[in-house]
């Protein structure tokens, strides 16, 4: 576009030319752009428009949201659980990889064997807990398919235009816990990985909202890796664990909203039309997200197992288990052996749940310990991102976290005692 004669050239302090437009010239440009981009005509509502409206109205929108969540979870379990992990990975890792590692690695009594291959008597990669057995199985056999399908579904929801509608629909509910509709973005992202979810809290306007969201993410939103492991090792209990987390999310969200001073402003959401996602964009987003996740997940899983095994070898975990036994056994109602997985949870929560699955426990103890692992300290990758958002917020979030773990763990134990299951 050619600037009009009213354009005046000036020079800034650095000597570079700066274009200064008069008010008339700006309006001329606005008119020119409008002529080229805006089409005038009579608006005619389409079927897509009406469907778009129906998915935002609570009466019709809530069943659609429930159905979308169902489809999301169903595809996730069928692909990641039934097809990839149970169908191929378990067979490969338990039937070929583990026996091969156990046969070729020398001296099963050595500490190097313990670190890299793990328990020489183990029949499955979950039990072995070596860096090259459980570590590779968890990261490639369980986490990778779970994360891949999760991000695919997430991208489709995003690119089809459903996510902004979900934000509008959830607005009134999330306002009750000090957030607004767009908080659904970090929440759903957190179900994939808490790291991008913490970054996505920037979408929220006030400090109060960001703090509440970050704390709730660290506490009550299990990541895709954790979900994948939960599905593999305790498929019948995932529903109960999720129920405990959803209830906790609501209760502690409301408490934080009431206690923390600050504003909770309304938002104006631009809701686009429904459209078919462009497959090139979907592929690009999927690749970027999965690549980013793998870069940090695989090294952390392997490193996590190495550190935990070293702590076991050094007797640190046994010492901590003895020290914390009264709290774990009396207050939370779980065995003292869960101290080890809780330490592993700081490195990778999925790893911790895999470790929990090898400890003999009652159903209640398993549910309680998995909930504790989820709401306990965020994994180190999330911790680092939270630190980047501000150390004061991080310290406050950790303080809240310890209080919530203690209180909520005790409440779950209390409910277990009342129901006669603890």
HEC sequence for the chain: CCCCCCCEEEECCCCCEEEECCHHHHHHHHHHHHHHHCCCCCCCCCHHHHHHHHCCCHHHHHHHHHHHHHHHHHHHHHHHHHHHHHHHHHHHHHHHHHHHHHHHCCCCCCHHHHHHCECCCCCCHHHHECCCCHHHHHHHHHHHHHHHHHHHHHHHHHHHCHHHHHHHHHHHHHHCCCCCHHHHHHHHHHHHCHHHHHHHHHHCCCHHHHHHHHHHHHHHCCCHHHHHHHHHHCHHHHHHHHHHHHHHHHHHHHHHHHHCCCCCCCCCCCCCCCCCCCHHHHHHHHHHHHHHHHHHHHHHHHHHHHHHHHHHHCCHHHHHHHHHHHHHHHHHCCCHHHHHHHHHHHHCHHHHHHHHCCCCCCHHHHHHHHHHHHHCCCCHHHHHHHHHHCHHHHHHHHHHHHHHHHHHHHHHHHHHHHHCCC
Is residue 258 a contact residue for another protein (CB under 8 A)? Answer: no
Task: Sketch the per residue contact string, 328 through 347, with another protein: x for CB under 8 A, - otherwise.
Answer: --------------------
**In the complex, what is the shortest distance from the CB of residue 251 to another protein, in angstroms, rounded to a whole number?**
23
Is residue 363 a contact residue for another protein (CB under 8 A)? Answer: no
**In the complex, what is the shortest distance from the CB of residue 98 to another protein, in angstroms, rounded to a whole number?**
16
Contact stretch for another protein (CB under 8 A) within 88-96, 208-216, 388-396, 414-422: 88-96
**In the complex, what is the shortest distance from the CB of residue 331 to another protein, in angstroms, rounded to a whole number?**
30
Using CB under 8 A as the binding rule, the residues of this chain from 182 to 221 that contact another protein are none
With CB under 8 A as the contact rule, the residue among 25, 28, 29, 75 that binds another protein is 75
Closer residue to another protein (CB): 16 or 47: 47
Is residue 246 a contact residue for another protein (CB under 8 A)? Answer: no
Using CB under 8 A as the binding rule, the residues of this chain from 223 to 242 that contact another protein are 239
Is residue 39 a contact residue for another protein (CB under 8 A)? Answer: no
Contact stretch for another protein (CB under 8 A) within 84-92, 108-116, 302-310, 317-325: 84-92
Q: Residue 9 — left, alpha, or beta (φ > 0 → left; ψ -120 to 50 → alpha)?
A: beta
Closer residue to another protein (CB): 46 or 110: 46
With CB under 8 A as the contact rule, the residue among 83, 320, 380, 396 that binds another protein is 83
Closer residue to another protein (CB): 159 or 337: 159
Task: Sketch the per residue contact string, 97 through 136, with another protein: x for CB under 8 A, - otherwise.
Answer: ----------------------------------------
Is residue 7 a contact residue for another protein (CB under 8 A)? Answer: no
Is residue 92 a contact residue for another protein (CB under 8 A)? Answer: yes
* Residues contacting another protein: total by CB under 8 A: 29
**In the complex, what is the shortest distance from the CB of residue 172 to another protein, in angstroms, rounded to a whole number?**
20
> What is the C-alpha separation between 246 and 264, in angstroms, rounded?
21
**In the complex, what is the shortest distance from the CB of residue 43 to another protein, in angstroms, rounded to a whole number?**
12
Task: Sketch the per residue contact string, 41 through 70, with another protein: x for CB under 8 A, - otherwise.
Answer: ---xxxx--xx--xx----x--xx-xxx-x
Closer residue to another protein (CB): 92 or 105: 92
Residues that bind another protein (CB under 8 A): 44-47, 50-51, 54-55, 60, 63-64, 66-68, 70-71, 73-75, 78-79, 82-83, 86-88, 91-92, 239
């Amino acid at each position: 576009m050619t600037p009009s004669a009213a354009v005046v050239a000036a020079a800034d302090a650095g000597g570079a030319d700066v274009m200064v437009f008069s008010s008339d010239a700006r309006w001329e440009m606005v008119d020119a752009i409008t002529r080229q981009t805006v089409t005038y005509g009579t608006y005619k509502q389409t079927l897509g428009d009406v469907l778009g409206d129906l998915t935002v109205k609570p009466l019709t929108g809530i069943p659609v949201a429930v159905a979308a969540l169902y489809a999301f979870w169903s595809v996730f379990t069928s692909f990641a659980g039934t097809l990839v992990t149970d169908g191929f990975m378990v067979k490969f890792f338990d039937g070929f990889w583990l026996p091969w590692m156990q046969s070729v690695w020398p001296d099963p009594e050595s500490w190097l064997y313990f670190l890299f291959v793990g328990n020489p008597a183990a029949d499955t990669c979950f039990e072995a807990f070596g860096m090259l057995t459980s570590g590779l199985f968890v990261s490639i056999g369980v986490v990778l398919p779970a994360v891949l399908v999760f991000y695919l579904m997430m991208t489709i929801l995003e690119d089809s235009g459903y996510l902004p509608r979900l934000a509008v629909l959830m607005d009134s509910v999330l306002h009750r816990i000090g957030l607004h509709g767009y908080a659904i973005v970090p929440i759903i992202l957190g179900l994939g990985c808490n790291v991008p979810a913490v970054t996505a809290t920037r979408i929220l306007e006030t400090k109060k909202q960001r703090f509440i969201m970050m704390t709730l993410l660290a506490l009550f939103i299990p990541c895709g890796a954790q979900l994948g492991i939960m599905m593999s090792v305790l498929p019948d209990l995932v529903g109960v664990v999720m129920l405990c987390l959803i209830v906790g999310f609501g209760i502690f969200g409301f408490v934080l909203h009431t206690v923390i001073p600050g504003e909770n402003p309304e938002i104006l959401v631009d809701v686009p039309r429904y459209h078919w996602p462009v497959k090139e964009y979907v592929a690009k987003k999927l690749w970027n997200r999965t690549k980013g996740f793998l870069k940090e997940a695989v090294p952390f899983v392997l490193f996590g197992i190495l550190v935990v095994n070293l702590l076991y070898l050094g007797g640190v975990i046994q010492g901590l288990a003895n020290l914390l036994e009264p709290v774990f056994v009396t207050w939370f109602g779980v065995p003292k052996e869960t101290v080890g997985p809780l330490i592993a949870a700081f490195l990778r929560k999925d790893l911790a749940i895999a470790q929990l699955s090898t400890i003999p426990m009652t159903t209640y103890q398993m549910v309680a310990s998995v909930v504790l692992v989820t709401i306990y300290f965020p994994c180190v990758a999330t911790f680092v991102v939270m630190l980047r958002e501000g150390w004061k917020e991080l310290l406050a979030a950790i303080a809240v976290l310890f209080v919530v773990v203690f209180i909520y763990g005790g409440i779950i134990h209390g409910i277990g005692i009342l129901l006669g299951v603890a």
